[in-house]
């Protein structure tokens, strides 16, 4: 999977891309992340990337010509010497608090793509005409960050875990919070040694070796935890099971 990140601060990504799961995915050849400095496509002697908004107002707005110029230059370099399917452009994602909220299903959809571009905003946002040149807009949630870099890191981190051969076990990504295998429920609790700590004991069922009983216990715990913390997810899980039963 190739990821191009358009940003004013490529230096923010240097330690992130070389450590942890993301670094492992890169070293394994499963992930290729490259940063493009938006400033290099700025205008004039000062490489300006923004301007005052038409109609007045506070702050500065990132120019559409600079953003699109950077995206297209990145894609043109990537296509050099390539033919056929590899010559297609990337799936372009604008990172903005106005976008659709990122969830595990969207992460899985992005991770299945061979090439995506993540466009990070700053200041008061983008000239609205940028939307005509991207495929979708994604947000981490209903809050505002100083820029899209943290959101880009979140997407790269989440996608890297799903790439073949990155996790030690394929089951690790299946049986976790929000996964389809869990019907989108929160993950069941885990325990390890010591068996007792300050009066809190590991549930007996987990020590008995009865896999059917363990599976039932974990499902029960996942549903209880979801009901307590995210009842909206529990209702969705019930609908999914009902739909499967009806089909």
Whether the bond between 194 and the residue before it is cis, its omega within 30 degrees of 0, is yes
Residue 129: φ, ψ to 5°: -70, -15
**Which residue in 207, 234, 208, 240 sits closest to 222, CA to CA?**
234
Residues 6+ apart with CB under 8 A from 218: 188
208 is in an annotated binding site: no
Beta bridge partners of 101: 139
Separation CA 74–CA 76 (nearest Å): 6
140 is in an annotated binding site: yes
Strand ranges in the chain using DSSP code E only, listed in sequence order: 2-7, 32-37, 50-51, 61-62, 91-101, 115-120, 136-139, 196-197, 200-201
51 is in an annotated binding site: no
Separation CA 60–CA 65 (nearest Å): 15
Residue 33: φ, ψ to 5°: -110, 130
144 is in an annotated binding site: yes
66 is in an annotated binding site: no
Mark out the alpha helices in 95-188 (DSSP H runs).
104-111, 149-160, 171-174
Hey, what's the torsion of the CAs at 215, 218, 222, 224, to 10 degrees?
A: 120
Residue ranges of the binding site for S-adenosyl-L-methionine:
121, 140-145
């Amino acid at each position: 999977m190739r990821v191009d990140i358009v940003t004013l601060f490529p230096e923010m990504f240097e330690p992130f891309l070389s450590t942890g799961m993301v670094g492992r995915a890169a070293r394994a050849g499963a992930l290729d992340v490259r940063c493009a400095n938006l400033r290099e496509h700025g205008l004039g002697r000062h490489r300006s990337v923004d301007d005052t908004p038409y109609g007045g107002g506070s702050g500065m707005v990132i120019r559409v010509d600079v953003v699109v110029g950077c995206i297209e230059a990145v894609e043109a370099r990537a296509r050099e010497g390539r033919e056929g399917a590899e010559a297609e452009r990337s799936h372009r994602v604008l990172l903005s608090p106005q976008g659709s909220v990122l969830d595990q299903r969207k992460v899985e959809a992005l991770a299945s793509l061979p090439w995506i571009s993540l466009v990070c905003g700053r200041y008061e946002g983008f000239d609205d005409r940028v939307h005509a040149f991207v495929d979708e807009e994604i947000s981490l949630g209903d809050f505002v960050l100083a820029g899209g870099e943290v959101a880009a890191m979140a997407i790269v981190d989440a996608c890297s875990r799903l790439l073949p051969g990155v996790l030690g076990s394929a089951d690790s990504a299946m049986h976790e919070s929000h996964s389809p295998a869990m019907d989108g429920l929160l993950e069941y609790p885990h325990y390890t040694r010591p068996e007792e700590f300050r009066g809190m004991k590991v549930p007996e069922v987990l020590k008995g070796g009865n896999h059917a009983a363990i599976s039932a216990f974990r499902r029960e715990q996942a549903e209880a935890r979801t009901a307590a913390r995210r009842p909206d997810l529990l209702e969705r899980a019930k609908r999914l099971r009902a739909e499967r039963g009806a089909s």
